[in-house]
Chains A and B, each alone.
Chain A
Amino acid sequence: MSAVVTGIGVLAPNGLGTEEFWSRTLDGVSGIGPITRFDASRYPVRFAGEVPGFTARDHLPGRLVPQTDRMTQLALTAADWALLDAAADPGDFGEYDMGVATAASAGGFEFGQKELQNLWRLGPRHVSAYQSFAWFYAVNAGQISIRNGLRGPMNINVAEQAGGLDAVAQARRMVRGDTPLVVTGAVDASLCPWGLVAQLPNGRLSTGDDPRTAYQPFAAGARGHLPGEGGAILVVEDAESARRRGAPHLYGEVAGYCSTFDPAPRTGRPPRLAAALRGALADAGIDAVDVDVVYADGAGVPELDLAEAEAIAEVFGRNGVPVTAPKSMTGRLNAGGAALDLAAALLSIRDGVIPPTAGVTGPDERYGLDLVTGARHVRVGAALIIARGYGGFNAAMVVRRCPPAAPRPARAAAVIQGEGT
């Protein structure tokens, strides 16, 4: 039983909507710029990937807006677009046939900062009734379920960036179980002063003073990454049921997945990223040579880039596979970023093109990577997506072109005839 992606909804710093995001990504148009959502002049990090021109009221009912953080507003809109893209009408499905499996990294942080301020400055009676759910990690899943009447199983993973792939893997589990359709993926957004300051101590954010070069994964001058907001919500369905209902797009099959965890640094044991890559290939039943592109995690932190390049080389050989990290154009969106990479990988399959790691002119030679720095037109049958979560989380996922529909089995026809006689 295979799980296929039938709908994509994207809100990214370089594009609202799948097609806008995709065309700008192929053109190397970056969404990174100075932080405008608050006065960041006093902070060492002053650039980010903000989703531009998004007004929640244009997309969501008035009643929902005051009770939701921006993260949830983006997620609800992405879910609407994904379901629309899949042409999936909840009314056509059984009562418990649609589930939700999302990931989150930090909850509704801006909403939370406002309410923390209300509490600490004014007192507990000034805290909003909506705070009780607007900031917790499960909020996107709950609101997506309620808005769309999805009453099947649900799950929410938290594993920073890796969670975005874990969620889609969970969606595949549900589809392989008894849930024909699952809304999955992730959207993260925590671009508020408290959200930025809480990220600074991880030591991975770039303090570069030029937005064009501040985040350059795998570049010799890499000095960290930039934060961003947005992500992708996907519709994953059982292939057979999607075909039966005439789903307009079969973007690709979620064919393989593996997650591993790095040992604690003090143990001296080797990292486990390469094992995740091999595990995902094995799960998909393919070999490294079958992979046409790797979407890298691309932390932009030299030691992390090196570890990732080594894992890729261990599995694919040095310069053995085209590698790209279009997140150089969006910043790192945490769980949302992994889901966005997955969406881009599916579009690579659809259009036969690998988007560039824009902003990087040439990768550091020592990495031994065939880094794609300008859109490359090539047939893509299978793509591997890598997502690493802070703390040691590794996830890898293989998506591949959907096989053509199996010819209608002659046996079924015979049975029907048999019954008629």
Chain B
Amino acid sequence: MTAVIETKSLSKWYGNVLGLSDVSLEIESGITGLLGPNGAGKSTFMKLVTGQMKPNIGRVTVAGQDVWNNFRLFSRIGFCPEQDAFYEDVTGWEFLTGLLRLAGYSGAEAAKRAARALEIVELTQDKDRKIRSYSRGMRQRVKFAQAVAHDPDIIILDEPLSGLDPLGKRRLIRLVKDFQSEGKTIIVSSHVLPEIEAMTSRIVMIHQGKILAQGDIHSIRDLIESYPHMISLKCGDARAVAARFVHDASILKMSFGPDGRSLVVETYKRDAFFSRLQAVVLEDGIEVEELTSPDDNLQAVFDYLVVK
């Protein structure tokens, strides 16, 4: 398979601050996940790929062409920016049709495509409301809609799941996968591993402007499994839940919050813990109020890779 997006020794800095350093990548069609903590250089990479920035060193090509100031390429690219920014005084409908008209569609075609895009992000009913009145999740969805409404071959999504509720995340993940099955090239960034994992097994790990690892998610996952995960749980009787796990060899450490309702578990086997927890909750009729992974242990992996 040939690379749709290719970067060679790509470097970018902002004054004295390094944004990206010596990044060489070949991205083929399908979904590629860009994983890294905030400030790692994911957005810089995406801005370079979408021609919003010029590399200081190196080259970025899309479909074999340099992208900087090459607006001819942009009919093939859809970009969903990270920032929560809109023309606030317009409705969702006006926003989408306006951007489609900018892409060169006639009024009728723009209307048809905007209607379709709003339908797939389930905003048809709210299309005539001003964007300033949209919830965070709706804003995120309309931002996604503008990136795909013109049916681009290449879709660049910068933190598209941020601000969405779990159901919204699931729907958007399904949509991204649908686009993949149409043969499109998709780059999606996130700082949350399970989000990326839900979309693709092909990932690029980026940290402090450098590519730390790339390839199959399983190798990254194995690496992560070698570090303990922290899982936080809030329920009526945290000690009762803890009692059910005390003989579990994969549990490294458990600690309780002062209110007696919160429990923090450290485990090597996150997935196994979640499966067991699900069973315990159902068997004992425990009401779980909150379940979070405050540390998905990415930082530990990044630290490990940096040292390595």
**Interaction A to B:** no
